[in-house]
Structure 1
Amino acid sequence: MTKTQIYKFGGASVKDAPAVKNLANILRNRLRNNFVIVVSAMGKTTNHLETILSLKLTNQDYSWNSSNLKSYHLDICTALFPEGHVIFPKIENYFILLHHELNKPVSKENYDEYYDRVIGFGEMLSSRIVMEYLCSQALLVLWQDARELICTNSDFRFAKVDWEKTRRNCQSQLRPKLEQFPVLTQGFIGADSSGRPTTLGREGSDFTASILATSLDAGSVTIWKDVPGVLNADPKLFKDTKLFSELEYQQAAQMTYYGASVIHPKTIKPLANAGIPLFVKSFLHPEENGTKIHKTAKVETVPTIILKKDQILVSFKVTDFTFIEEKHIHQVYEQLQMLKLRANMLQTSAITISIVVDSQLFKLEQLLAKLKNDFIIRYNEGLDLLTVLHPKPDSIPSLLDGYEVLLEQSTRNMVQVVRRLN
């Protein structure tokens, strides 16, 4: 039997009607049985839903934002479908359900669970529109709710996958469908054992593709992006970038760990363990080879630049005239784990622990509240974390020109710098 292929299309590849038509053209000569298509929310829908949640939480009016989001999806449908098509009442119904959720109370304490109930509407809308359009183009696909497949714990916003249950679900529910038709489903979302919606972490649709591939013993995963493949830097931020034609699993995983945005950090490990190759290709130039990530690629030593924006530097200083010990580090990390925050950089001195974390709503104030009695705490927001793998020493100064350096550390194969504009 032919091995399953997984195609994942991100928000940029379905951001408007021309993009959806382009997706259909990519699939036209590739689509067949044993094919799973994973789609993200359209364009910046997730960002817009997060804005609505933030406004609701601070008791501000979000009706304009909600109306605008609805118009955005209906405008795409108007450009894709004839008047009276079944998609229009389906979109209306999703927004009725969304407003029903938004009318429920929310607080800082239940925000993560509430977030997961609301944020997944982006993927549901996108997947319905894309599925209906493909079928209208004689590309028959079945629609599948990912929450019926991806089983997780109840760690809302950063749910951990129950691999055994998910595999059983995929084999019992998805496999029989794939023998008849290709299947289209959503990225990013799952459900806990009680059926409550969960999410896999921001930009988690890549991870969904990896989960499904592993659970179905797939032959390959292809992620379609607006870049030629995996590059040594973000072409929107840096000039003269280099395309990697292939990468070894471990090197690709290292790049994602430090924040390379082209692939979600959790994507690589399951594929590497199963020996499933990952292709990163351009939906703008689908015939080009892109990047192949697999087991036997040679290690690349080209300098790779990774920039994470909107970072917070937090420094914890001991108050009792002792030196930093392991117990202090454990104390800080325990709170990070409780708040689902990851230290993107850690540095210790005799009396201070400094960490760099992503900016997330409420998380900083909760972290400060938990540790303010044990440390003197200082922090800076709105920073960049610059990581250079395999750096050339003479290239670093140009990356810091016009910036103030707040923290820096280096090893033989890596330099990390926390910087802000002068």
Structure 2
Amino acid sequence: MAKTLIYKFGGASVKDADAVKNLAEILRNRLRKNPLIVVSAMGKTTNALEEILLRRFRGEDYSWNSTKLEEFHLDICRLLFPEKHSVFAKVQNLFFQLHQELARDLTPDTYDLIYDQVIGYGELLSSRIVMEYLCDQGLTVIWQDVREIIKTTSDFRFAKIDWELTRRNAQTYLVPILEKFPILTQGFIGSDTQGRMTTLGREGSDFSAAILGVSLDAASVTIWKDVPGVLNADPKLFPGASLFDELDYKQAAEMTFYGASVIHPKTIKPLANRSIPLFVRSFIHPDAPGTKIHGQAKRHQTPTLVLKKNQILVSFMVKDFTFIEEKHIHQVYEVLQGLKLKVNMLQTAAISISIVIDSELFKLEKLLTALRPHFEVRFNEDLELLTVLNLEHGAPASLLEGYEVFLEQQTRTTFQAVRKKLIPIE
């Protein structure tokens, strides 16, 4: 059997009926090699599910939100399938199951568990619709529930992979099918030892593709995006961004560490360890080469800009005016680890530690509760973290014009600033 190709399609590539038709055209001449296809939720479905869950937690009515999301999927089906196609009943059944999950007891302690049981329905819906459409187009594809393959811990929302069991499942169940047919499955989700749905972290479908690629000893993994490939900045935020034709694993991993959204941060390492190349290509221009990430690429010196929004700056000051020591940093990081919070920036001063973290429901309150007995704590919300990599001569002033800067630091080649847009005084 030839080595498997992994194709991953994100939410933008299946956001509506025309996008699904475009996906089918991309695959039409690529299915002969029996690839494994990973799809994300359609469009902004994950955001919509998060809003439904939050309204449910607050005791607010979410029926309009739920009906709107169901109609969104059914409208796509109406444009893709004849009136009495079986896909309509399958979509409605998935929404029935979703409502059963939403009816469960929801508290701050059970929130992460219920989150994972709810959010993964976006991928279950999209994969079912896409598979049915491909088959209707005469493209034979086997639907696979990825929860039967990717096994994880019970760390809900940030599940860790059981690599050995996942590989065994992939070799046992997927390889025999791939010898005859392509497979279509879901990104972002897996299951724990009790069979409960788990998620791999927001935007985790890229990581799913890498997990399956490594487990199947794939020839390559291709991520199909709405951009030409990996750029040195988000073109929506920084016009004039330029394309990298290739990157080495280390440089790509560094970009994702600082928050480059084109690839999920956990995607690179497993592929690099097995020397599996990663391609980032455009579903808008599918014949364009895109970016190849592999071990033989030369390191680029092009300055790269990464912007992370919805950041929180938290500063911890010792109460007795002793100097900051390693034990203080360890004390803060121990709580962060327990809350599964990643530090995006760290700065220490004589009597304080400052960290920048993502904004996550409940997490800030729990962090403050745990550390206020030991430190004086100050925090600022709704901030942006700007990172510039491969910087030689200091950050351009234009990047900070019109912003209040809360914190900044620079190493030999990396500049970071925590900023907030100034509101003009009228």
- What TM-score do you get using the length of structure 2 for normalisation? 0.98
Tell me, in whole angstroms, the C-alpha distance in 2 between the residues paired with 1:416 and 1:62: 40
**CA deviation after TM superposition for structure 1 residue 4, in Å:** 0.1
**Matched AA of 1:283:** F
Measured against aligned partners, the alpha-carbon deviations of 1:229-281 in whole angstroms (never above 9, x if no partner) come to: 00000000001111000000000000000000000000000000000000000
2:262 alignment counterpart? 262
**CA deviation after TM superposition for structure 1 residue 33, in Å:** 4.3
2:274 alignment counterpart? 274
1:329 alignment counterpart? 329
Tell me, in whole angstroms, the C-alpha distance in 1 between the residues paired with 2:247 and 2:33: 29
- What TM-score do you get using the length of structure 1 for normalisation? 0.99
Q: Check the 8 A contact 2:388/2:395 in 1, yes or no.
A: no
Tell me, in whole angstroms, the C-alpha distance in 1 between the residues paired with 2:231 and 2:7: 20
**CA deviation after TM superposition for structure 1 residue 404, in Å:** 1.0
Tell me, in whole angstroms, the C-alpha distance in 1 between the residues paired with 2:216 and 2:234: 32
**Paired residues, number:** 422
Ranges of 4+ aligned residues in structure 1 off by more than 6 Å: none
1:373 alignment counterpart? 373
1:247 alignment counterpart? 247
Tell me, in whole angstroms, the C-alpha distance in 1 between the residues paired with 2:396 and 2:215: 43
**Matched AA of 2:368:** L
**CA deviation after TM superposition for structure 1 residue 32, in Å:** 2.2
1:25-40 map, 5 Å: 25-40=25-40
Check if 1:2 corresponds to 2:2.
yes
Tell me, in whole angstroms, the C-alpha distance in 2 between the residues paired with 1:183 and 1:203: 21
Identity of aligned residues (%): 68
Gaps of 5+ in 2: none
1:14-413 map, 5 Å: 14-393=14-393, 396-413=396-413
**CA deviation after TM superposition for structure 1 residue 100, in Å:** 0.8
Tell me, in whole angstroms, the C-alpha distance in 2 between the residues paired with 1:248 and 1:393: 24
Tell me, in whole angstroms, the C-alpha distance in 1 between the residues paired with 2:298 and 2:136: 44
Tell me, in whole angstroms, the C-alpha distance in 2 between the residues paired with 1:321 and 1:18: 62
Tell me, in whole angstroms, the C-alpha distance in 1 between the residues paired with 2:59 and 2:35: 44
Residue 32 of structure 2 aligns to a residue whose secondary structure is coil
**Matched AA of 2:93:** N
Residue 32 of structure 1 aligns to a residue whose secondary structure is helix
Tell me, in whole angstroms, the C-alpha distance in 2 between the residues paired with 1:153 and 1:248: 30
Tell me, in whole angstroms, the C-alpha distance in 1 between the residues paired with 2:107 and 2:257: 31
Residue 43 of structure 1 aligns to a residue whose secondary structure is coil
Instruction: Please provide the CA RMSD for this pair.
Output: 0.7
Measured against aligned partners, the alpha-carbon deviations of 1:160-189 in whole angstroms (never above 9, x if no partner) come to: 000000000000011111111000000000
Measured against aligned partners, the alpha-carbon deviations of 1:55-86 in whole angstroms (never above 9, x if no partner) come to: 11111110100000000000000000001001
Q: Check the 8 A contact 1:145/1:185 in 2, yes or no.
A: yes
Tell me, in whole angstroms, the C-alpha distance in 2 between the residues paired with 1:71 and 1:249: 42
Tell me, in whole angstroms, the C-alpha distance in 1 between the residues paired with 2:395 and 2:275: 36
Tell me, in whole angstroms, the C-alpha distance in 2 between the residues paired with 1:111 and 1:32: 43
**Matched AA of 2:404:** E
Cα gap change, 1:15/1:326 in structure 2, threshold over 3 Å: closer, same or farther?
A: same
Residue 327 of structure 1 aligns to a residue whose secondary structure is helix
Q: Check the 8 A contact 2:394/2:415 in 1, yes or no.
A: no
**CA deviation after TM superposition for structure 1 residue 392, in Å:** 4.4
My pick for the range that moved more, 227-236 or 323-332, is: 323-332
**CA deviation after TM superposition for structure 1 residue 34, in Å:** 3.5
Tell me, in whole angstroms, the C-alpha distance in 2 between the residues paired with 1:86 and 1:358: 42
Gaps of 5+ in 1: none
Q: Check the 8 A contact 1:151/1:193 in 2, yes or no.
A: yes
**Matched AA of 1:101:** E
My pick for the range that moved more, 89-98 or 24-33, is: 24-33
Residue 184 of structure 1 aligns to a residue whose secondary structure is strand
